[in-house]
C-alpha cells in the first residue's frame, strides 16, 4: 500500500520546516526518490524530537516513546500517526533493511544516555546510527542495486553532513540540550576542555579543535562525493547539491574564525538559492560530480588546503555576504556570483536570472 496524499503532505511539511538545507536539495530529486525522502526525513525528525524534547516528563518516558516508535516503524504494531503510516508504506515498497532502522533508533537512545564523547571512536559509534544508517536507508530508495563497494562513499558523505551539523551547532547543542559532540581528545590536543564550551568560551584551543574537525570532515566530503557517480543519473544532482549546500556552512564557520560556541552560523534563503543556481550551471556544463563539487563548494581540493586557489574557470570572486535574512529578494550581486565562470563583462544579469529561474522552477516555488 502506498502512502496517501495526506500522509505525504504531512511528511513534506515536516521536512520543509525542520530541514531547510536538505529539503532544498531533495526538491531536485526525481519523484520516485523525492517523496520517499520526505517520508524518511520526517521519520528521522520525529525520532530526533523525542530525544530533543527540552522539557520531557522523564528519560524513562522518552525511552518508552522511542520503544513505541520502534515497534511502529518495524510493523510490530499499527502506526498512530501520518508519518509512521507513510514510513511503513515506504518500508514495504522499498524493502528497507530493518536492521538499519534499529541501528538508527539505537543512536537516538544513545542521546538519552550520553552527552559527552571522550574519543573520536566513541563519536563514530554514534555516527553509525545517526548518519550512516540514514544513508543506507536512503540508498535503499535511490539505488537498491548499488554495488556494495560504493556504499562506503555514501557512509562517508552521511558522516560529513552530520559532522557539519555538529560543528555548526556547538552553541545550540550545549545550551539547549547539554550536549557536546566535540570529542575530549580533539579538544585536549589543543589544550582546550569541554568546560570551556559549557561556559560558552571559545578559546584559541577550542577554535583550533573546531578547525581540525572541520578539516577532518572535509576529507569525508571528498570521499563521499567521489561515490556520487555510482548512483543512478536521475539522483546524482540532488545528492551533489545536498553536499554543496551542507559544505557551504564551512565557509560561514571560517568567517566566524571557528567560533560556533558563541553563535550558530546559518545560510540565508537567498544564499541557498544562489548556491543551487551556481551548482546547476556547472552541472549542466560538465555532469561530473567531483569536478562540480571542487569548482563550487566551500571545500578546497585535498592538495590545496584551506587557502585554496580559485578553481579552474572561476573568477575567484568571494560569495556575497550572508546576512541571515529571510527575504526572498535575490540581488544582482547574488545572481552574478551564481555564474562565476563567465567573465564579468560578458555576464548579463538576464542570463544569470534565467539560471536561477530554472532552479526555482524545479522547486515549484517551495525553495523557502
The full set of domains in the chain, from first to last, is 1-113 (no CATH), 144-264 (1.10.600.10), 268-368 (no CATH)
Residue 242: pLDDT above 90?
yes
Q: What does the pLDDT read at residue 53?
A: 83
* Residue among 61, 25, 59, 55 at smallest CA distance from 41: 25
Residue 252: pLDDT above 70?
yes
C-alpha torsion sign, points 294, 295, 297, 299? positive
Cα separation of 337 and 28, whole Å? 21
pLDDT digits (tens, 9 = 90+) for 167-193: 999 999 999 999 999 999 999 999 999
Q: Is the CB of residue 176 less than 8 Å from the CB of residue 111?
A: no
Region 8-37: what's the mean pLDDT?
Answer: 96
pLDDT confidence band for 300 (50 / 70 / 90): confident
Cα separation of 138 and 90, whole Å? 11
In the chain, count H helices and then E strands. Answer: 18, 0
What cell was used for 189? 590536543
Please indicate whether residue 342 or residue 156 has the higher confidence score (pLDDT). 156
What cell was used for 291? 569536478
pLDDT confidence band for 308 (50 / 70 / 90): very low
Q: What does the pLDDT read at residue 338?
A: 52
Share of the chain above pLDDT 90, in %: 78
Residue 144: pLDDT above 80?
yes
pLDDT confidence band for 283 (50 / 70 / 90): very high
Q: What does the pLDDT read at residue 55?
A: 73
Those residues whose C-beta lies under 8 Å from the C-beta of residue 8, and which sit 6 or more positions away, are: 35, 38, 39, 86
Q: What does the pLDDT read at residue 226?
A: 97
Cα separation of 351 and 328, whole Å? 19
Cα separation of 56 and 233, whole Å? 44
Residue 334: pLDDT above 80?
no
Residue 330: pLDDT above 50?
no
Residue 331: pLDDT above 80?
no
pLDDT digits (tens, 9 = 90+) for 41-88: 999 999 999 999 877 778 889 999 999 999 999 999 999 999 999 999
Cα separations (Å) of 40 from 12, 105, 367? 10, 13, 19
Amino acid at each position: 500500500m502506498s502512502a496517501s496524499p495526506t500522509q505525504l503532505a504531512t511528511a513534506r511539511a515536516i521536512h520543509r520546516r525542520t530541514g531547510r538545507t536538505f529539503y532544498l536539495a531533495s526538491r531536485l530529486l526525481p519523484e520516485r526518490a523525492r517523496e520517499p525522502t520526505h517520508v524518511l526525513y520526517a521519520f528521522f525528525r520525529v525520532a530526533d524530537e523525542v530525544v530533543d524534547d527540552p522539557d520531557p516528563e522523564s528519560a524513562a518516558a522518552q525511552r518508552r516513546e522511542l520503544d513505541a516508535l520502534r515497534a511502529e516503524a518495524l510493523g510490530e504494531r499499527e502506526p498512530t500517526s501520518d508519518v509512521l503510516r507513510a514510513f511503513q508504506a515506504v518500508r514495504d515498497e522499498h524493502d528497507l533493511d530493518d536492521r538499519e532502522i534499529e541501528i538508527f533508533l539505537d543512536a537516538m537512545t544513545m542521546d538519552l544516555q550520553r552527552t559527552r564523547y571522550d574519543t573520536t571512536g566513541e563519536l563514530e559509534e554514534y555516527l553509525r546510527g545517526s548518519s550512516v544508517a540514514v544513508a543506507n536507508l536512503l540508498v535503499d530508495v535511490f539505488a537498491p542495486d548499488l554495488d556494495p563497494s560504493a556504499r562506503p562513499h555514501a557512509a562517508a558523505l552521511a558522516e560529513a553532513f552530520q559532522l557539519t551539523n555538529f560543528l555548526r551547532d556547538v552553541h545550540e547543542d550545549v545550551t539547549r540540550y547539554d550536549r557536546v559532540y566535540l570529542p575530549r581528545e580533539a579538544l585536549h590536543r589543543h589544550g582546550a576542555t569541554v568546560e570551556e564550551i559549557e561556559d560558552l568560551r571559545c578559546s584559541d584551543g577550542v577554535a583550533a579543535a573546531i578547525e581540525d574537525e572541520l578539516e577532518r570532515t572535509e576529507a569525508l566530503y571528498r570521499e563521499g562525493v567521489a561515490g556520487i557517480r555510482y548512483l543512478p543519473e536521475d539522483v546524482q544532482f540532488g545528492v551533489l547539491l545536498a553536499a554543496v549546500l551542507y559544505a557551504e556552512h564551512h565557509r560561514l564557520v571560517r568567517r566566524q574564525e571557528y567560533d560556533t560556541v558563541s553563535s550558530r552560523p546559518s545560510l540565508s534563503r537567498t544564499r541557498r538559492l544562489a548556491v543551487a543556481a551556481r551548482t546547476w550551471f556547472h552541472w549542466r556544463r560538465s555532469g561530473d560530480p567531483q569536478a562540480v563539487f571542487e569548482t563550487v563548494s566551500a571545500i578546497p581540493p585535498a592538495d590545496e588546503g584551506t587557502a585554496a586557489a580559485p578553481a579552474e574557470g572561476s573568477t575567484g570572486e568571494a560569495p556575497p555576504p550572508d546576512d541571515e535574512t529571510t527575504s526572498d529578494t535575490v540581488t544582482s550581486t547574488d545572481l552574478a556570483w551564481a555564474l562565476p565562470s563567465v567573465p564579468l563583462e560578458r555576464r548579463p544579469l538576464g542570463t544569470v536570472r534565467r539560471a536561477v529561474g530554472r532552479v526555482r522552477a524545479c522547486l515549484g516555488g517551495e525553495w523557502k
